[in-house]
Structure 1
Amino acid sequence: MRNNTWKKAVVSALTTILGLGITGFLFAPNVKADNYQKQGDTALSSVNNVIARTSITPVQEFLTVKLYPHQIKNRNAVTLHFQNIPLLTFLDTPNHSAIEQATKLALRLDQLSNQSIDANEINISWNSTSKDYSLKFQQEELVRVNKNIILPDATKNLSHDALQATNRLRRLMGNAAPLTEIKGKQVVKADSKMGSFVAVKNLRKAAQGIASWYGPGFHGRRTASGERFNQHDLTAAHRSLPFGTRVQVTNMRNGRSVVVRINDRGPHVRGRIIDLSAGAARVIGVKSSGVAPIRMQILN
């Protein structure tokens, strides 16, 4: 019953809150954090009331954020896309609702986007007490990154994932330079050859070549693995790697990287070594160019 109730949410819930619609949650740039918190809490309370009686299961859309409800190993989950880039995935726990936590962050990101903040003030630090990572704007904690709030293309290195999430937000909020370390915890080193930042652990085999992408014309069709293709997921097609293989793909032009899961066969064009989903291509800046030189590293 709890699982079913959670699923029966979301767009109509927020668009009916207080009769304002989503834009009703935006505040003027000078609104203080405590005022935001009070209004955000009121919004979340209203969301809960609506969730309990609605039967809709769509994507939840804000001005700059989309929330995609789904499941991971029979657990309710919500993946937050900021400016159409997957940023974080929230998992339900006995004490915390994934949709509530994701909605709270979505409201705050919309507000910060409206304020034209300095993205260099977005940072990440290690919390030695709770053993997780605190993603902050200035001194305000936006969200914790831990085993229940993870990178959508997560690796087995939580430190690396926390840094990746932070750098994506810094870039999307204002094209700030990527961080190379987490305050209180050294986690990565720079790859001077490519100008990218990669995890020291988990990288085994590597290859270089040209990546392309595919999406709209194949969305909803069956992939070679048998699952349906979702152009927004972080997946890719490869000619020979086993289905389920996780691969880190780095755009050698800009240093951006993404971890994808192989679930299809391709590319079918000579001279290309991997075909990214539209979502993965967007993360590393390949969608606009169509193709790009990449470095591909097998993680498992």
Structure 2
Amino acid sequence: MKQRFWWTMVVLLTTACGTTSTSHAEPNRPVNLNSDPDQIQVNPGEEVITKIQPHEITGKPAATLYVRNIPVLTFIESGEMTGDSNSETEIGSPVSELKGKGLKGLSILGSQAIAQSPIQAQNPRDPVARAEAIAASLNQLRESNATPEITLEWNGELDEEGYPIRDEYLIKVNGMDLVAIDEQTRLPDTTNDLAQDAIQATNRLRRLIASAPPIAEIANRPQPRPEPEPPTLQAVTPEYLQYQINGMASWYGPGFHGRMSASGEIFDENALTAAHLYLPFGTQVRVTNLDNGNSVVVRINDRGPYTGGRIIDVSAAAAENLGMINSGVAEVRLEILGSSTTSSAE
């Protein structure tokens, strides 16, 4: 009888220990943020935790929204702001005032879609406040246990001819505006292409929140303005001078230095290059400032300008030679010299 009692106790203790060891879920494994965020695999069944990390971008206050430790959106200050944005904010903990508020009545506030009722950013220019409003909405999606439909569509401006003059992209949840991707809201590891930033940010949300496959297209996106047909070049004297025209020139450099130009080469603001709407890449053009007589020969390696009725956009170095750095624009005469080979012979 005693032997049976002890065997019974051993079985009960073994069962209890086994139950205890399997009742604890495996802790969340840390995510290597140096990895490609679009290649990190996540378990949709895990609890969604959003985190907001304040920081700066080129001296401006910014905040990056993380979902399951993966950076999804970066918000940049859009103007004067108030409030403290110096500490990291955790959203989704029991002490958060924004948890469980609901995803209702999303509407556009400025360029950002903020949950207007019952959640609203106190300062829509503050990147932390904007990130908090989006984070609260995403947390409520997780708490609702519903599978949302996350979509992306174009929401920019068109000119009188129906061509886009300003791009903006809306990420929507079940048909309601969640957030607009624009110059103040972008992908944390930006591609420097607003459309690609919007697609990648949408796909991260689709994977992290809805376990949905990625998208490749943007709904309602209009066709860009076609490039104008180049005029017929007429030879004049001397032989290498094929074409000349007068018009307004502008210059560019800061903000574009180091980025890829339309020709595929890296733009160097210190090189004597320029952007033109249709001249072949490699064409040499003499630009003469009609206000002071200064001239410089530039090589076409980029496309533009697209606004202001200007006929050429020269590099910062070329603008320095032309004496138009301070004025920004100048009336110029263009003399198309031909290809790089032709010009170098001259």
Give your verdict on TM over 0.5: no
Q: TM-score range by the shorter chain?
A: 0.3 to 0.5
Tell me the TM-score normalized by structure 1.
Answer: 0.40
User: Which structure has the bigger radius of gyration?
Assistant: 2
TM-score by length of 2: 0.35
